Structure 1
Amino acid sequence: MQRKNNFLANRKAKPAFAMIMAIALIVVISTIMALAMFLSAKSTKKTADLYLYEQAVLEAHSAAEYSLLKIAQDGPCTHFNDLHFTQDNIYQINITNRFIYTTPLPAGCVDDGTVNDNVYATVTTPEQNGSVLMDISVSVVNPTVVSEPIRYFKRSIQKL
């Protein structure tokens, strides 16, 4: 004896089942689209932040070279111990130079033991004479460019 299935013969169940499947399909597709839009926006922000950070690294390298140029032009321990400037109205660059010399110190160098003097250390050997300790910080100061702060700090010792 053959058993008859009335599931397919019931015509009232088909439209309701099709409606449930259509709603489920719309929910799945909208979830996938929302996830795609979220990941796209996050990727764009990460790319912009990475670009600005790499620019800050390059600005720090350029600031170190500029500082060495100014020291070569003006001489050590001159008015050029601290430098603050803004690049393209986006980056704030701060350079602090402290010098390392043997005694007697060159003209203009002050070693009075305070924090504000421009001599970092005095050394004993001539091979160590004439160096500069540079602290360079680059910050993104324009709030319309980034949503979170970007800052790069570089410390280097350069021979004069």
Structure 2
Amino acid sequence: MQRKNSILRSSKRGGFAMIMAIILIVVLTTIMALTLSLTSQTTKQTSDLYLREQAVLLAKSAAELALLKVSGWNRATSGCLTSVNAVYPSTTNKIFDINVTMKYIGLGCGGSADYIPAIVTPESNGTVLMDVTVTSDPGVSTEPIRYFRRTLQKL
């Protein structure tokens, strides 16, 4: 007589393996979804950080450009230069708008260009207060990037 082992041939064991396989697939799918979410978030943060650093460098360069234009400007015939506007990299596919507004201390420009028309100390005369604003184009990033810098420059 042959003895049959009924423990190894149970039909319940096949159902248990199917449930374990489904649970494993759900766990792996969840881990992959979280990985994809973190990857896309990291990519977005990296590109936003890159654009912000680029805006900071553009603000410094715009202040130097405005100072160069002010120093070469003929105030006797044209009055004082009050603003400088630029776009980066070009007008067709711009990424940033750059605006520099200037107020003068001690040059006697007149009107809204004067912050303080005259100062008693001659060392302070000939100073310009620059407000530099760098703003990203709306289609460049998911969140708008705006960097503001105020600087005081001696002419």
TM-score under structure 2 length normalisation: 0.85
What's the secondary structure of 2:85's corresponding residue?
strand
Q: Which residue of 2 aligns with 1:124?
A: 120
**1:45-64 map, 5 Å:** 45-64=44-63
**1:6-155 map, 5 Å:** 8-9=7-8, 11-75=10-74, 78=79, 80-88=81-89, 89-101=94-106, 105=108, 109-111=109-111, 117-121=112-116, 122-143=118-139, 145-155=140-150
Deviates more, 1:117-126 or 1:9-18: 9-18
Q: Distance in 2 between matches of 1:78 and 1:120?
A: 15
Structure 1 portions without partners, runs of 5+: 1-6, 112-116
Runs of 4+ that moved beyond 6 A: none
Per the TM alignment, residue 8 of structure 1 is displaced from its structure 2 partner at its CA by: 4.5
Question: Letter of the aligned partner of 2:153 in structure 1?
Answer: Q
Q: How many residue pairs align between the two structures? A: 144
Contact 1:91 1:142 in 2 (8 A): no
Q: Distance in 2 between matches of 1:79 and 1:13?
A: 91
Question: Letter of the aligned partner of 1:19 in structure 2?
Answer: M
Per the TM alignment, residue 128 of structure 1 is displaced from its structure 2 partner at its CA by: 1.4
Q: Cα RMSD between the aligned structures?
A: 2.0
Contact 1:132 1:157 in 2 (8 A): yes
What's the secondary structure of 2:81's corresponding residue?
coil
Q: Distance in 2 between matches of 1:75 and 1:99?
A: 15
TM-score under structure 1 length normalisation: 0.83
Bigger RCO (CA 8 Å, 6+ sep):
1
